[in-house]
Chain A
Amino acid sequence: MNHLKVVETSRTGYNTQSVIKTPVAMETKPVNPERAIDQKLVEKAQKGDKRAFGILVEKYHKKLTRLLARMVRDQSEIEDIVQDSFIKAYRAINNFRGDSAFYTWLYRIGINTAKNHLVSLGRRPKAMNDVEIEDVENFEDGQELRNLETPENSMMTGEIVTTVNDTIESLPDELKEAISLREMDGLSYEEIAELMQCPIGTVRSRIFRAREAIAEKLKPLIETSNKRW
């Protein structure tokens, strides 16, 4: 009888299952760091810091666009709804008390804005049930937006994807592995340090250097792309 042992490996070839996920309590880390960042940014925005709200816009506009693409099919309409949603969120920012995640709150605003928009055009909005709202924080689906891409945008997407992938391929192995384990496998610095058998500080530095190299290559492309708009 053959005993087959199935070991889940990451896209980088590491056995990510063997990493013991135990938090190190040397310095206090927030329980939910993502939410802690958002809460701080909201607090800054509530105190009048519009740039803090800008980071929230940068962080969530694509995610919100992807979600609203399930209700509205027209790209320009979606962009208008996303913009209106953020403006409404900013106007109501003082009412946000952190009872839910910022994105869940923003998503509800987005859904209501989209529904009102469709009703004003005499169209019937698609029902979005509570299960979808509960699951919204984990929602990632680029396909919805790819369906709406213009041929020109699609070409630019191809160029950017190729640039990122080519740059990663050209990186020294340790940088390539660190950034891939972080972005593709979603491992924490501690887990990556354990896998790569190096200090956490080294992991931090490798990921940063990989990002800087990619950013350097992306810069001219993005600048050209922005000038087109």
Chain B
Amino acid sequence: MKDKISSLFDNEFTDSELDSLLSDVTKNKKHQINWSYYQITRDVLQGNYVTSSPMTAKIMEAIEKEPTQMGGFVQNSATTLRAEFNYLPHLFAFSVLILIAAMLFNSPINSNSVNSVLLVQDEIPAEMMQAHFAHTATNASYFVQTGFSNIK
């Protein structure tokens, strides 16, 4: 395992290894110490090493006092793929709405309703319809009758 941590330090890993290797580094204190030695070695060999106070420890002490960050935006390949296609349900709903709107716009709503009344009327016996119209006030007669009744 330790040689794999060394490989990880050199960015030599495969996609499938990354998660487990990083988990090992974050969970194992010894791996973290080795990691810091690898970093010192690299800095020395590249001419960048300078001794400073152990800042990582100080910074992490301060970070430990901070509330733990949870539930952040997680961007991995799976979520990225989901993010790329998450507009599809909206697109489908919008298409359905457009289709319904087009159908309503093109269909003769009023004539349909008249037709449906006539169709119903056809099924009712003629004498019943005559009786119905005889007792149903037309707009004009209704208001005239109401007006008379108020005067009385």
- Chain A residues at the B interface, C-beta cutoff of 8 Å: 27-30, 33-34, 36-37, 39-41, 43-55, 57-59, 61-62, 65-66, 79, 82-83, 86-87, 90-91, 93-98, 140-142, 145-146, 149, 153-154, 156-157, 160-161, 164-165, 168, 179-180, 182-184, 188-189, 204-205, 207-208, 211-212, 214-215, 218-219, 222, 225-226, 229
Among B71-79, B84-92, B120-128, B144-152, the one that faces the other chain is: B71-79
Interface of A is mostly: helix
Interface of B is mostly: helix
Contact B52 A83 (CB under 8 A): no
Judge if B14 is at the interface, Cβ distance under 8 Å: yes
Closest chain B CB from A186 CB (angstroms) = 9
Contact A164 B41 (CB under 8 A): yes
Contact B69 A142 (CB under 8 A): no
- Chain B residues at the A interface, C-beta cutoff of 8 Å: 2-3, 6-8, 10-16, 18-19, 22, 25-27, 32, 34-60, 62-64, 66, 68-76
Contact B56 A61 (CB under 8 A): yes
Contact B73 A94 (CB under 8 A): yes
Residues of A within 8 A of B68 (CB): 48, 50
Q: A40-B22, A208-B3 are in contact. List 20 more A-B contacts (CB 8 A).
A: A27-B14, A28-B15, A29-B13, A30-B13, A30-B18, A33-B12, A41-B26, A57-B55, A57-B60, A79-B58, A82-B55, A86-B63, A90-B66, A93-B69, A140-B46, A142-B50, A179-B41, A189-B7, A204-B7, A214-B41
